[in-house]
Amino acid sequence: MRRWNGWGDDTIDFPLPASAQPFLEQRLGKPTPLPDASFKDVMAVVPPSRLPDHPLVIKAPRDRILHARGQSLPDWLALRSGKLGAFPDGVAYPVSAEQVRALITFVKDQDGILIPYGGGTSVVGHINPPATDRPILTVNLSRMNRLLNLDEESHIATFGAGASGPDVESQLRAHGYTLGHYPQSFEFSTLGGWIVTRSSGQQSLGYGKIERLFAGGTMETPSGPLEIQDFPASAAGPDLREIVMGSEGRLGILTRVKMRVSSLPPRESFRVFFLPHWDSGCEALRRIVQAGIPLSMLRLSNETETETQLALAGHRKAVRLLEKWLAFRGAGVQKCMVTVGITGTKRLHRTALKEASHIFHEEKAVHAGKVLGHKWKKNRFRAPYLRNLLWERGYCVDTLETAINWDRVSPLMAGVESTLTGTLVGEREKVLVFSHLSHLYSQGSSIYTTFLFRAADTYEGTLARWRRLKKAASETIMEHGGTITHHHGVGTDHAPYLLSEKGPLGINTIKALCRTFDPDGLMNPGKLVS
């Protein structure tokens, strides 16, 4: 069963190796865990529903709790403390576009609010009910998860928009196809969520961000259905797909989506290289991407992320031996790990590896082979489970992401890291910060930063620490000219920074779209734009 107040399936744990505790205590200090509220405690505080009965709407407290929060750190603090504030007044699980339309009408008649819900994996407050007098209905799309059509000639698969990562891949693989979209939240996040938050998967270098994979589909809106045709390309004015992508549940509910799929690759391999330092790593990645070498993944961890990953990998003896060998080959204390994915035919493997290795060699990289690459693949969706154990020990973990052109990648990463490191100094608290580049473009790269800090002695104090860190880091991103988000979306947490990115006319354009599709303001108000 899915954990109600943490990440993932409750039969799965990703244990911390024995070496992790001393490493973290040395970096952050000894933690004191905060006590967790029980599910029963939270059940006791769910208020009566404000919605009238409807055959499609469930008003049981259990369903309302399970849809009350996403997966951001503030969401975790709310769930773990049992102080959730607002709950949806009901949850519906439609199975058809007709039922979705009926639910929109029901909410409109109640002067209520409707929150579309995919997998609830948002990390920026997308699906949280606002504090309001209006009744709130959360519409969970998970029952609309079927492969409806597969056009094998055009490589277009039509799905119910509530299909999760495993739903999508298992149904496509049965026919010899893949979407190739693997966000780390793959186990639970859905097609609809990916599209409206502009998600990016681990192999975006090969398969592209969701923008490249979404071909068209149907969105049910309070103003009626919007049909987007799946042309390979079109010059017929502004592209309506672009309006839907990033709409964050503000315009309507995607019910049916057409996705560009690929034949299952005959081969896929992941391998690891170590670069002597960050600058050589960045240079190698930029050169490889700009040369158009057909890799499916490149991920460059900076020095601290490399050190942390090796410290948390367990197998102390093997890691020590590896480090000695790497130092001997020129990748010493400042080494940075690069994970490389190659997906395709045998011939493509040979050519891509040869071309990439040539550049790596010129940048003095050491090839560490496939063992670490296999390990990465095996655990590719397991790392978030570490958050559960870290929380139980008294440590908070959060991540930030942005994107910027190559000339400013390193200064922005350094700026965000030094801001985060310094933000809690006044409280004599340390923050462990590390970053990687994992979604790469000819023009620039995303930057993904993870930060860990100790929980304070109260939930309120812990939230205050997170707020200071998030604000300081977001302001640093803005000062350096980065986007406030490369793939997590805006939700509520990034909304204050949108104006400086889009400008007043841009914001008014988005608001005008919301008014056109949703004149009564039913759809997920307060997210993206106010």
Ligand X SMILES: Cc1cc2nc3c(=O)[nH]c(=O)nc-3n(C[C@H](O)[C@H](O)[C@H](O)COP(=O)(O)OP(=O)(O)OC[C@H]3O[C@@H](n4cnc5c(N)ncnc54)[C@H](O)[C@@H]3O)c2cc1C
Closest by Cα among 87, 105, 102 to 50: 87
Of 144 and 275, which CB lies nearer to ligand X in the complex structure? 144
Question: Could you give the C-alpha distances from 250 to 31, 134, 214, 418, 512, in angstroms and in order?
Answer: 40, 16, 18, 35, 11
Task: Confirm or reject binding of residue 123 to ligand X (CB under 6 A).
Answer: yes
Piece in contact with ligand X (CB under 6 A), picked from 190-198, 305-313, 337-345, 501-509: 190-198
Judged by CB under 6 A, the number of residues near ligand X is 38
- Pick the binder of ligand X from 93, 106, 177, 194 (CB under 6 A): 194
- Pick the binder of ligand X from 5, 99, 122, 158 (CB under 6 A): 122
Smallest separation (angstroms) from ligand X to the CB of 507: 18
| Alpha-helical segments (H) within 181-267 | 191-197, 204-207, 210-213, 240-244
- Pick the binder of ligand X from 217, 344, 489, 526 (CB under 6 A): 489
Piece in contact with ligand X (CB under 6 A), picked from 114-122, 172-180, 302-310, 476-484: 114-122
- Pick the binder of ligand X from 65, 91, 253, 455 (CB under 6 A): 253
Task: Confirm or reject binding of residue 121 to ligand X (CB under 6 A).
Answer: yes
CA–CA gap between residue 509 and residue 291 (Å, rounded): 37
- Pick the binder of ligand X from 90, 116, 206, 444 (CB under 6 A): 116
- H or E segment to which residue 1 belongs: none
Of 123 and 293, which CB lies nearer to ligand X in the complex structure? 123
Check if the beta carbon of residue 292 is closer than 8 Å to that of residue 204.
Answer: no
Check if the beta carbon of residue 127 is closer than 8 Å to that of residue 67.
Answer: yes
How far does CA 341 lie from the centroid of its chain? 20
- Pick the binder of ligand X from 297, 342, 527, 529 (CB under 6 A): 527
- Pick the binder of ligand X from 42, 51, 64, 71 (CB under 6 A): 71
Of 147 and 366, which CB lies nearer to ligand X in the complex structure? 147
CA–CA gap between residue 435 and residue 305 (Å, rounded): 6
CA–CA gap between residue 138 and residue 127 (Å, rounded): 8
Piece in contact with ligand X (CB under 6 A), picked from 58-66, 193-201, 234-242, 494-502: 193-201
Task: Confirm or reject binding of residue 200 to ligand X (CB under 6 A).
Answer: yes
Smallest separation (angstroms) from ligand X to the CB of 371: 24
What length is written for the chain?
530
Task: Confirm or reject binding of residue 141 to ligand X (CB under 6 A).
Answer: yes
Beta-carbon neighbour count of residue 287 at 10 Å? Answer: 16
- Sorted by sequence, the CB contacts under 8 Å of residue 430 that are 6+ apart come out as 27, 28, 29, 421, 424, 453
- Per-residue HEC secondary structure of 73-102 comes to HHHHHHHHHCCCCCCCCEEECCCCHHHHHH
CA–CA gap between residue 86 and residue 69 (Å, rounded): 9
Smallest separation (angstroms) from ligand X to the CB of 529: 12
Tokens representing 317 are: 């003896």
Smallest separation (angstroms) from ligand X to the CB of 521: 15
Angle at 85 between CA 84 and CA 89, to 5 degrees: 95
Task: Confirm or reject binding of residue 70 to ligand X (CB under 6 A).
Answer: yes
Task: Confirm or reject binding of residue 193 to ligand X (CB under 6 A).
Answer: yes
Scanning the structure block, which residue is given the tokens 């893949």?
178
- Pick the binder of ligand X from 49, 189, 308, 446 (CB under 6 A): 189
Angle at 247 between CA 246 and CA 248, to 5 degrees: 90
Inter-axis angle of helices 386-393 and 73-81, nearest 10: 60
Interface mask toward ligand X for 431-470; x: CB under 6 A: ----------------------------------------
Q: Which of residues 230-249 bind ligand X (CB under 6 A)?
A: 248-249
Task: Confirm or reject binding of residue 487 to ligand X (CB under 6 A).
Answer: yes
Of 68 and 353, which CB lies nearer to ligand X in the complex structure? 68
Task: Confirm or reject binding of residue 183 to ligand X (CB under 6 A).
Answer: yes
Closest by Cα among 345, 350, 339 to 377: 339
Task: Confirm or reject binding of residue 81 to ligand X (CB under 6 A).
Answer: no
Smallest separation (angstroms) from ligand X to the CB of 187: 9
Q: Which of residues 363-392 bind ligand X (CB under 6 A)?
A: 384
- Pick the binder of ligand X from 34, 37, 137, 196 (CB under 6 A): 196
Task: Confirm or reject binding of residue 120 to ligand X (CB under 6 A).
Answer: yes
CA–CA gap between residue 399 and residue 416 (Å, rounded): 11
Smallest separation (angstroms) from ligand X to the CB of 493: 12
Q: Which of residues 306-335 bind ligand X (CB under 6 A)?
A: none
**3-state class of 123 per DSSP?**
coil
DSSP 130-186: PS-SS-EEEEE-TT---EEEEETTTTEEEEETT-BHHHHHHHHHTTTEE-----TTT
Smallest separation (angstroms) from ligand X to the CB of 140: 8
Of 168 and 365, which CB lies nearer to ligand X in the complex structure? 168
Question: Which residues in this chain contact ligand X in the complex, by CB under 6 A?
Answer: 7, 70-71, 115-123, 126-127, 141, 161, 183-185, 189-190, 192-194, 196-197, 199-200, 248-249, 253-254, 384, 487-489, 524, 527
